[in-house]
Structure 1
Amino acid sequence: MTASYLLDATDTELDRLPDNVDSSIITLVDLWYDAFAQAGSEAIPSRTILSAERLRQWRDDICLYEYLPVKNDFLVRIDAPSIVALNGESFQGSTPREIDLKYGTCLMAALHKTLKTKRPTFHYVHLIGPHGNRRQWLRVLMPAQTVDHLGDPVFQVLGVRFEYEPMHYI
């Protein structure tokens, strides 16, 4: 991994989706809440409900972070093809800590909070590179769960990132 090339990065947690986001983002979050309602007594929607088929519209935009309780860490199981194309690198098989170290973001803390609250979390992420180039996006993290080969729960977070310029700077 190469050294971080960013001069400044900020993650700002939002209490809700901004009003001016694209309708596809709203549709994705609504889909999660629909899956939550279908889950019944389960606190987190299952990947059976949040299946690849239901998420196909965002398949190139979804990262999958799997929680590893023994390490109190996450593993990037799937790195979104759209993000890999934009960054020119894949973090699949890495940890979010590596992403945080490279880009100066707070992804690891956001993933932990998303699992703890068992609800989607929203973040505005703003990066300024060494040549003044700005990168801005809205990060949406949504908890999910599946089971391993023994039937034990495996907690995951679905993460998507969309280009986003706020109406008012945060």
Structure 2
Amino acid sequence: MKNKLVPLENAPKLLQKIVKAWEKAALNTGQPQLKQLGQALPKNWLEYVDIYEVESGGRSFRLQKPGNKVIDITKQDLWGRTAKDIDLVYGLHLHEDMLAVYSNQKPVIHYIHVFQDHNRTSYRALIPVFTTKDAEDPSQILLCLVEK
């Protein structure tokens, strides 16, 4: 199954809340920062999030902090790996998807197969966040993974 784009209203409630918090922060400050998102979300929201650092101006995305629930869903702790590394092992297009979010500077939600088990599906949001409100480019891409 190819990743399928999902409208916000059809996404799981947690992903809706995260994207809406991002949109609100974007309206208020222009460039949403990670600390801003957490203020409006459930305390455990980061358990569903892998935090990827942007490296070399968007040429690479490296997993810096895996979320516990993401590990539970995927059965993998991919800490330290790049999106390209993950693509090579699992035949994905994660790097390409992250690059699009980095370039467009807007969140996107997909309905996907969990890469280790093609019988399992999940919803994945990729969300750009910035170091400061004045930053031109995202410093991190959040990969939020939720089963419905």
Q: Normalising by structure 2, report the TM-score.
A: 0.81
> Post-superposition shift, 1:71?
7.5
Provide the rounded CA distance (Å) in 2 between the counterparts of 1:156 and 1:163.
23
**Correspondence for 1:74 among 47, 52, 61:** 61
Provide the rounded CA distance (Å) in 2 between the counterparts of 1:70 and 1:32.
22
> Post-superposition shift, 1:89?
2.4
**Distance change in 2, residues 1:159/1:129 (3 Å):** closer
The residue aligned with 2:3 is 11
Q: Cα RMSD (Å) of the superposition?
A: 2.7
| Contact 2:74-2:116 within 8 A present in 1 as well | no
Higher-Rg member (1/2) = 1
Higher helix share: 2
The count of residues paired between Structure 1 and Structure 2 equals 145
1:109 aligns with 2:109: no
Provide the rounded CA distance (Å) in 1 between the counterparts of 2:9 and 2:24.
20
**Correspondence for 1:138 among 109, 118, 123:** 123
> Post-superposition shift, 1:127?
5.1
Provide the rounded CA distance (Å) in 2 between the counterparts of 1:146 and 1:91.
23
- Please give the per-residue CA displacement for 1:60-98, whole angstroms capped at 9, x wherever unaligned: 101111110267101101111112123332111110112
- Please give the per-residue CA displacement for 1:94-131, whole angstroms capped at 9, x wherever unaligned: 1011222222221111111111111101112125878x
The residue aligned with 1:161 is 145
- Please give the per-residue CA displacement for 1:14-67, whole angstroms capped at 9, x wherever unaligned: 163252x3322211111110111111xx4x31234234x545331210111111
The residue aligned with 2:72 is 85
Provide the rounded CA distance (Å) in 1 between the counterparts of 2:72 and 2:61.
22
Provide the rounded CA distance (Å) in 2 between the counterparts of 1:73 and 1:83.
21
Provide the rounded CA distance (Å) in 2 between the counterparts of 1:93 and 1:129.
18
- Please give the per-residue CA displacement for 1:129-155, whole angstroms capped at 9, x wherever unaligned: 78xx601111101110116xxx99761
Provide the rounded CA distance (Å) in 2 between the counterparts of 1:88 and 1:11.
20
Structure 2: segments with no counterpart, 5+ residues: none
- AA of the residue aligned to 2:14: S
Quick one: percent identity of the two aligned structures? 22
Structure 1: segments with no counterpart, 5+ residues: 1-8, 165-170
| Contact 1:66-1:155 within 8 A present in 2 as well | yes
